[in-house]
């Protein structure tokens, strides 16, 4: 019963999180993913250099008092490969092919990190600093790699950056968010309604299992019942011993007294029977 109760509770929580996520997607959908080209990046950089990043921070609820990572830490944690070929030969003895494979792995990891951060920022659509993003996403990479990914997204004009109260705040560029049509919103609303019904049904089941669980907790446990059974058996054994002792004592002390009373009662009965027979004959003679 406990496992079933936990399953229902977990299901209710999952439905609640799904409802919240779908409600956010209905108003702030994720951007369409497409492959970037060098022309797009150059155009984004030119647009980013010409435009002024002047957006009102008072309209957002900024979380986290932490200050951003220092530029010094970013430079120290550079992920670039060594430029000197002799260092590669002396340090690990890697060939050119192995170094290229390592570069591909690093680039793939950085790309995945950027996609994860961008997807999260589009989904939440609110400002965050680097500490909030790292804590909310539970990233394995350090803040240096995350800062590099954020800088790359800012250069691509996918995120906006602004210094606010001595910390760097990031928010998704509103221009890349696609507005949903009425049909899309209606479909999402229908899904939300369906999930809402499932959520309410799960809550009802959860309440029912909670009542059953409380009733089970009120029932005595098997170990406690066995303990009480042993106590009752011991009490019964003591009572039987006392009864046997009393019967033995009664048979030895009161036997003569009982025998005398029995004889007296028998004599009284015979006397009453004779008197009754005598009076019966007298009554019959009078009536006869």
pLDDT digits (tens, 9 = 90+) for 120-156: 888 888 889 988 888 888 887 788 888 888 898 998 8
CB distance 153 to 117 below 8 Å:
yes
CATH class of the 30-178 domain in this structure: mainly alpha
Alpha-carbon gap, residue 35 to 178, rounded angstroms: 17
Q: What is the pLDDT of residue 81?
A: 42
d(CA 104, CA 79): 12
Whether pTM > 0.85 for this model: the answer is no
Are the beta carbons of 123 and 30 closer than 8 angstroms? yes
pLDDT digits (tens, 9 = 90+) for 175-226: 887 776 667 778 888 889 999 999 999 999 999 999 999 888 888 888 888 9
Rounded Cα distance, 103 and 111, in Å: 12
Residue boundaries of the structural domains of the chain = 30-178, 220-253, 262-288
């Amino acid at each position: 019963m406990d496992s079933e109760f936990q399953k229902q509770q977990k299901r209710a929580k999952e439905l609640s999180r799904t409802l919240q996520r779908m409600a956010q997607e209905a108003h702030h959908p994720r951007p369409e993913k497409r492959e970037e080209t060098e022309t797009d990046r150059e155009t984004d950089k030119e647009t980013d250099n010409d435009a002024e990043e002047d957006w009102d921070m008072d309209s957002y609820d900024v979380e986290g008092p932490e200050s951003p990572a220092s530029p010094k830490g970013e430079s120290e944690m550079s992920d670039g490969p060594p430029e000197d070929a002799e260092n590669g030969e002396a340090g690990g003895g890697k060939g050119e092919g192995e170094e290229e494979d390592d570069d591909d792995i690093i680039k793939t990891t950085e790309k995945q990190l950027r996609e994860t951060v961008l997807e999260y920022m589009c989904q939440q659509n609110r400002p965050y600093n680097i500490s909030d993003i790292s804590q909310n996403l539970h990233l394995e990479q350090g803040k240096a790699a995350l800062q590099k990914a954020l800088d790359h997204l800012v250069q691509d004009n996918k995120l906006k950056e602004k210094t606010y109260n001595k910390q760097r705040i990031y928010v998704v560029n509103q221009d890349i968010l696609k507005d949903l049509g009425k049909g899309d919103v209606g479909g999402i609303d229908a899904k939300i309604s369906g999930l809402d019904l499932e959520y309410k049904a799960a809550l009802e089941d959860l309440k029912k299992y909670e009542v059953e669980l409380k009733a089970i907790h009120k029932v005595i446990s098997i170990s406690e019942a066995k303990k009480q059974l042993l106590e009752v058996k011991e009490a019964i054994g003591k009572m039987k011993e006392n009864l046997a002792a009393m019967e033995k004592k009664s048979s030895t002390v009161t036997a003569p007294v009982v025998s005398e009373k029995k004889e007296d009662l028998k004599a009284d009965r015979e006397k009453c029977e004779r008197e009754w027979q005598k009076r019966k004959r007298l009554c019959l003679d009078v009536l006869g």
